[in-house]
Structure 1
Amino acid sequence: MKIFSVAHKTVFVVDHCPYMAESSRQQVECDVLTKSRGQGVIPLAPVSKSLWTCAVECSMEYCRILYDVYPLHKLINYVVSDSEFHILNTWRQEDQSTHELMSALAAVGPPNPREDPECCSILHGLVAAVESLCKITELQHERRTDMMDTAERVANRGRIICLTNAKSDTHVRMLEDCIQETILEQNRLAAGSDRLMAIQQCDLVLVHIHPQGEEPLVYDRPKKEISSLLTSEVHSQHYDLASTTITNIPMKPTLNVCEQEEQHANTSANYDVELLHHRDAHMEFFKSGDLHMAGSSTRENGLKETITLKWCTPRTNSIELHYCTGAYRISPTDVNSRPSSCLTNFLLNGRSVLLEQPRKSGSKVISHMLSSHGGEIFLHVLNSNRSTLEDPPSISEGCGGRVTDYRITDFGEFMRENRLTPVSETSHDPSGKLPAERAKSQLERHTRYWPMIISQTTIFNMQAVVPLANLIVKETLSEEDVLTCQKTVFNLVDMERKNDPLPISTVGSRGKGPKRDEQYRIMWNELETLVKTHAGATDRHQRVLDCIVACRSKPPEEEEKEKKKRGRKREDKEDKTEKNGSKDADDKSWQESERLKGLLDKEEPETEVIKDSPDSPEPANKKPRLSIEEVPPPERAKGPVSLLTMWSNRITAANSRKHQEFMGRVSSVNNKFELYQQLKEENGMDVHENGKSSR
């Protein structure tokens, strides 16, 4: 379908009513002789532009940039509205120039502030704009003539940019309703006319112009859909433009960039120039995400971002060729500034300028070049990567790293199966699809699951799966095809029962790779993934998937064997865990006894008082005795321990669990048991270890 975008036809509607003669209150200084002005000379007073002048300058700057960047197939129709509408040009290509528009605007003149405002309205121009969009351009007529049988496929879309002083949001809605009604009326007239085309889509852009300092009565609003034919917005970047700022431009006579600088031969200055161009000139930055490396920054007005590129010393050899991936027309943002004028004159004289990305470290990267061809200046995009004119890279230098096992042979077969061939106009497809649509559909089916590396696939390395892989990608399957696929699945089941080896890759794995059961599990999973991507096409595709799912499930007797096998393994694991638990308990008892011994050895020897009775209270200055139950949880013994000590402690701990511990050993302190404890209660004496008593 030959679709014309809304950018093909743009109608400017500029308000010429009396209130547009008001001052914009934006001061413009006219006195530039600030240093050379003599004493007693009165400086010139600043002037202020009218709203009409601002609207004309804005629209003319728009047209200038459009004609510079898009010299063909982007047309503008200019309409002035007051008590009636004035169409300043037509859709013909020879009328598309700023010179024609400026001459017509000069004939119209400024608004008359004494004219009756009740007789003036912007609606006259909006109605004329809709009528103008219904007119056929030369390119649309050419496309309709080439496609006479299907002329209705040529779409008619356009844009209306209205520059006015809106009174309120209600006023804006009234303008939108007027355009909507006019589009419906004009579409009814175009239905029975060969010289008019119905409008399929219209974008309305309302630009509210008001004096500086006043509170705007209409605020910015994003695009919204009024109806299926009309959308409305306040501001938009209509032609997908981008900005590039050329920095560090030397203004000195050695480069002949600016002739006015020759009088200051001993001095030089660096300037910046901002250029507008198509957004595709920065496409490599957007793809690689290197906008921060390319010096992306936001302008002071915050409207858009600009990419900063650094000036390189130009080469004198203009014959030198550079490998370019694109060339885009440019237009200076400030066309009348001295740096912009010097740069354009320098380039139009046949010089070329290389532009590099500003980097803090590393080697410089030259990404763009400015050069003129036929009196027009282009921004060339240079390929900073490997050139296609050089020798092809080694396959080990691909995007995936040093990969050497690509399926090169399979890819060659894939290209042969999907190559395009001429088709006669008389050929007819029962499905009603065009040849290009059938080719896209086939390519989509063949690439739903297609591993690129040999080590990432199993089924595509098996000759036994080839019949199924070739048939499952078909749009429709016959009964014979289904039987062939099922037979392939049964052959794989036989291979699994025979325990035949599979071509499983061992790249990146240690040893011989996965076991045989794991190999077949990987194979079945991949085969099921392949068939699932096509199972929704027809019922016969689904039958192949059902066959694979059924063959993957094992018979009941094999499932019972697997359960018993898993049960035996679980029991063996539990026995092993129990043995390990017993061993751990022995080790724990040995560690506990060792810790107890260490704690008791650290006790300082004190004179113990012989108890008369086990129930008698101990002295206040006596430390409490430690028992096995009071010992904190054991810790692993520190320091080297001999094998004999370890074995003796283990035997002692094992024997201690077989009988009740001797009371004397439990109540002893420092391996010593107090004798004659009953004397303390009977005689009230403390018996020391040497047998002497004291009161």
Structure 2
Amino acid sequence: MKMFSVSHKTVFVVDHCPYMAESSRQQVECDVLTKSRAQGVIPLAPVSKSLWTCAVECSMEYCRILYDIYPKDKLVNYIVSDSEFHILNSWRQEDQSTHELMSALAAVGPPNPREDPECCSILHGLVAAVESLCKITELQHERRTSLMDMAERVANRGRIICLTNAKSDTHVRMLEDCIQETILEQNKLAAGSDRLMAIQQCELVLVHIYPQGEDTLVSDRPKKEISPLLTSEVHSVRAGRHLATKLNILVQQHFDLASTTITNIPMKEEQHANTSANYDVELLHHRDAHLEFFKSGDLHMAGTSTRENGLKETVTLKWCTPRTNSIELHYCTGAYRISPTDVNSRPSSCLTNFLLNGRSVLLEQPRKSGSKVISHMLSSHGGEIFLHVLNSNRSTLEDPPSISEGCGGRVTDYRITDFGEFMRENRLTPVSESSHDPSGKLPAERAKAQLERHTRYWPMIISQTTIFNMQAVVPLANLIVKETLTEEDVLTCQKTVYNLVDMERKNDPLPISTVGSRGKEKRQEVSGTWTPSADDAVLLFLTFRLKGLLDKEEQEAEVIKDSPDSPEPLNKKPRLSTEEVQPPERAKGPVSLLSMWTNRITVANSRKHQEFVGRASSVNNKFELYQHLKDENGMDVHENGKASR
């Protein structure tokens, strides 16, 4: 039921009643050449478009953008409503063009202000729109024929965009109820017909148009579910440029489009051929052209800016001096059709003509610092202009990278063996959904939970970790990812912690890996006191987690410490005394983990050597050499080394 989305069918219903002939009250200047006008010539008065003209122009711009980016699989059916409905085109592919729609609209003409308004209604067009959605398109017919016995799996969804001048919110609710009743009636007719399809989902987008300077009588409302078959949203918009902006935003939302602004385009001035200026051109395209920005999080580095009162975002890319032509091969990861936002402007016309002549333009991300990154390219194929996404990391024409080479450069110390073991421990096998544990989790949920536990802390390369390079920590690393621990597991954890404490007291070296300047892995053994790192902090934290299990043994250790005459039991593991590791709840005031670790290191270092004997028995910071020689031989040794009796 997901073969056709709501955007496959779009029905425009434009109100053609007498009130749509009212002026939009947005003035358009016709006489702009005021400096070259001869004396005595009266300037032309400004004019204003009607609500009907504004609705037709904006809906045609919606269709133009749609046909530019989706020339085949997105269809539009245009209906005009007055005393009856007028269907201007069909779902057939040959009727899908702005030329066909404009010719049909010219035949309809503007609304007649002298027509009886009681005989006119937008309901005629809305009922015809529902009936049109039940008709089968060529693509739906091909899919139903190919599936044969499973034709019911082909979904029938659609969207109705109604441009009208509603009377009130009550009037809007009445229109929604009428559409809901019509859908139910048409679905009953489609159930017994091979030429019709029942509607599974319909979206109503009602745009209320009113003149500038007046208060709106209809409230905006976000998308609301009227029934399982119908959702509705209401937009109250002033006629003129505000309506054009709203339809531009809607076409981006309905068809998953995004905006890119090409900046610093050099163009020669019309009046001064020897001079040039830089212009900007905004293009619309599928949002997947920015997919790499979203994945890498570099969308802010690409110059994202918000426009139109925060309702619209555009990504800014900088024009590069064209040094390429269509015969050069570039490694692209995607190509998407584009449509200029302002198709009639001079910068847009110059850019499209430049590209249609066979030239290609490279686009770079504007950056304040660092090297230039060329991420996109504009080029035409078969008379259509495409925005190409270039792979800025590695060319797909080169040899495939080895497993030891990543996007950040050549890395040779990946934990490849550990990752293989990680994959073996998290393999998925087929299992029925009915076989779940007592907690009620499905097998897929349990697998996701296990994967989340195993990857909470998992360094990718050897040089980023210390504890995962130590054989003594392997049992602890395998146990902490379990959901529950048995008594034997708890004893194993205790044994592992005690072994680590013994290693520190014995000054056992740590396996620390460093990477050379040329990427070759080098190993060095560092002996002495352990250097605190992120891994050691994690290990210390795990020690604190075992505190609750060691409380009883800790009390026993304190008794042994307070009784110097009490012998140490045989085969007794060294204890973690409260003096060495102070738990957080026993500390005075807030103490950070780093402070606790530093204090522990200081105490441990003070116990590893005795004070120098000479420093303890010196007089006036001077120590007499050969002090036992006089007592043994009866000689007095002077400073010059000669003995005297």
Short-chain TM bin:
0.5 to 0.7
Deviation at 1:324, TM superposition (A): 1.1
Residue 507 and residue 173 in structure 1: after superposition, are their counterparts in 2 closer, same or farther (change >3 A)? same
Paired-residue identity, %? 92
- 1:192 Cα deviation after fit: 1.3
Could you tell me whether the CA contact under 8 Å between 1:610 and 1:687 is conserved in 2? Answer: no
Map Cα deviations across residues 543-574 of structure 1 (whole Å, 9 max, x no partner): xxxxxxxxxxxxxxxxxxxxxxxxxxxxxxx9
8 Å CA contact 2:554, 2:576 repeated in 1: no
Q: Answer whether contact 2:433 2:442 (CA < 8 A) is retained.
A: no
Q: Distance in 2 between matches of 1:642 and 1:481?
A: 29
The alpha carbon displacement at 1:325 in A equals: 1.2
The secondary structure found in structure 1 opposite 2:419 is helix
Q: Which residue of 1 aligns with 2:505?
A: 497
Which is worse superposed, 500-509 or 194-203?
500-509
Distance 1:447 1:620 in 2: 40
Distance 1:88 1:645 in 2: 78
More displaced stretch, 447-456 vs 601-610: 601-610
Residue 184 of structure 1: how far off its partner (Å): 1.0
Alignment check: 8 A CA contact 1:600 1:670 kept: no
What secondary structure does 1:277 align onto?
Answer: strand
- In structure 2, runs of 5+ residues without a counterpart are 237-252, 537-544
Cα pair distance change 1:599/1:645, threshold 3 Å:
farther
SS of residue paired to 1:94:
helix
Taking the aligned partners of 2:594 and 2:13, their CA distance within structure 1 comes to 107
1:346 aligned residue (351, 354, 361): 354
Distance 1:223 1:490, change over 3 A: same
Q: How much has 1:300 moved relative to structure 2? A: 4.2
After superposition, the C-alpha distances for 1:590-632 in whole angstroms (9 at most, x for unaligned) are xxxxx99999999999999999999999999999999999999
The CA deviation string for residues 644-663 of structure 1, in whole angstroms up to 9 with x for no partner, is 99999999999999999999
TM, length-normalised to structure 1: 0.60
The structure-2 alpha-carbon separation of the partners of 1:226 and 1:692, relative to structure 1 and needing over 3 Å to count, comes to: same
Give yes or no for contact 1:25–1:49 (8 Å, CA) kept in 2. Answer: yes
**How far has the Cα of 1:161 moved from its partner?**
0.2
Measure how far apart 1:321 and its partner are.
1.5
Deviation for aligned residue 1:91 = 0.7
Distance in 1 between residues matched to 2:210 and 2:534, nearest whole Å? 91
Is the 8 Å Cα contact of residues 199 and 229 (structure 1) preserved in structure 2? yes
CA distance in 2, matches of 1:26, 1:658: 88
3-state SS of paired residue (1:578): strand
Larger mean Cα displacement after TM superposition, 423-432 or 301-310: 423-432
Residues 521-549 of structure 1, C-alpha deviations (whole Å, 9 max, x = no match) = xxxxxxxxxxxxxxxxxxxxxxxxxxxxx
Secondary structure of the corresponding residue to residue 602 of structure 1: helix
Give the corresponding residue for 1:456.
464
Deviation at 1:220, TM superposition (A): 2.0
Taking the aligned partners of 1:465 and 1:687, their CA distance within structure 2 comes to 59
CA contact (8 A) 1:610 1:674 kept: no
Q: Report how far residue 31 of structure 1 moved.
A: 1.1
The farther-off stretch of 420-429 and 683-692 is 683-692
Contact 1:685/1:693 (8 A) holds in 2: yes
Write the distance in 2 (CA, Å) between the matches of 1:424 and 1:105.
59
**How far did residue 377 of structure 1 move?**
0.6
| Counterpart in the other structure of 1:319 | 327
Which shows bigger deviation, 138-147 or 301-310?
301-310
Give the 3 Å change call, closer, same or farther, for CA 11–673 of structure 1 in structure 2. Answer: closer
Residue 428 of structure 1 and its aligned partner are, at CA, apart by 23
Q: Deviations over 1:323-349 (max 9, x none)?
A: 111111111111111111111111111
Mapped contact 1:610–1:685 kept (Cα < 8 A): no
Q: Deviations over 1:350-383 (max 9, x none)?
A: 1111111112222221111111100001111111
Q: Distance in 2 between matches of 1:586 and 1:416?
A: 24
How many angstroms apart in 2 are the aligned matches of 1:423 and 1:616? 59
Which whole-Å CA distance do the structure 2 matches of 1:605 and 1:378 have between them?
Answer: 75
Is the contact made by 1:611 and 1:681 (CA closer than 8 Å) also made in structure 2?
no
> Which moved further from structure 2: 296-305 or 473-482?
473-482
1:611 aligned onto 2:627: no
Name stretches of at least 5 consecutive residues in structure 1 with no aligned partner.
253-260, 513-573, 588-594
Q: Offset of 1:405 from its aligned partner?
A: 5.5
Measured in 1, the distance between the counterparts of 2:584 and 2:263 equals 75
Is the radius of gyration larger for structure 1 or structure 2?
1
Separation (CA, whole Å) in 1 of partners of 2:565 and 2:434: 119
**1:93 CA displacement:** 0.9
CA distance 1:378–1:478, change in 2 (3 Å): farther
Partner of 1:385: 393
SS of corresponding position for 1:102: helix
Indicate conservation of the 8 Å contact 2:508/2:527, yes or no. Answer: no
**Hey, what's the Cα distance between the residues in 2 that align with 1:609 and 1:441?**
43
Q: What is the aligned partner in structure 1 of residue 147 from structure 2? A: 147
**Post-superposition shift, 1:162?**
0.2
Cα distance, 1:66–1:476 mapped onto 2, change above 3 Å: farther
Q: Output the CA distance in 1 between the equivalents of 2:551 and 2:426.
A: 88
1:293-692 superposed matches below 5 A: 293-393=301-401, 395-398=403-406, 404=412, 406=414, 408=416
Contact 2:411–2:519, Cα closer than 8 Å, also in 1: no
Partner Cα distance (2:452, 2:351) in 1: 50
Structure 1 CA distance, aligned partners of 2:193 and 2:503? 73
Q: Secondary structure at the match of 1:59?
A: helix
Q: 1:455 to 1:112 in 2, by over 3 A?
A: same
Q: 1:692 to 1:78 in 2, by over 3 A?
A: closer
User: Which structure shows the higher strand fraction?
Assistant: 2
Using the TM superposition, name which of 418-427 and 171-180 deviates more.
418-427
- How well do the aligned residues superpose, as a CA RMSD in angstroms? 18.9
Correspondence list, 1:210-225, <5 A? 210-225=210-225
Once the two structures are superposed, residues 68-125 of structure 1 have per-residue CA deviations (whole angstroms, 9 ceiling, x without a partner) of 0111210000011111111111111111000000011111111111111011100010
How many angstroms apart in 2 are the aligned matches of 1:610 and 1:432? 48
Tell me the SS of whatever aligns to 1:371: strand
State the Cα distance separating 1:171 from its structure 2 match.
Answer: 0.7
Change (3 A) 1:162 1:141: same
Bigger mean CA deviation after superposition, 481-490 or 454-463? 481-490
Deviates more, 1:207-216 or 1:230-239: 230-239
Q: What secondary structure is seen at the aligned counterpart in 1 of 2:129?
A: helix
Change in 2 beyond 3 A, CA 1:653/1:662: farther
CA distance in 2, matches of 1:367, 1:335: 24
Secondary structure, counterpart of 1:181 in structure 2: helix
Please state how far the C-alpha of 1:287 moved relative to its aligned partner. Answer: 2.2
Report the Cα distance in structure 2 between the residues aligned to 1:412 and 1:473, rounded to whole angstroms. 17
- Report the TM-score, using the length of structure 2 for normalisation: 0.65
SS at match of 1:583: coil
Say how many residue pairs are matched: 619
Deviates more, 1:664-673 or 1:340-349: 664-673
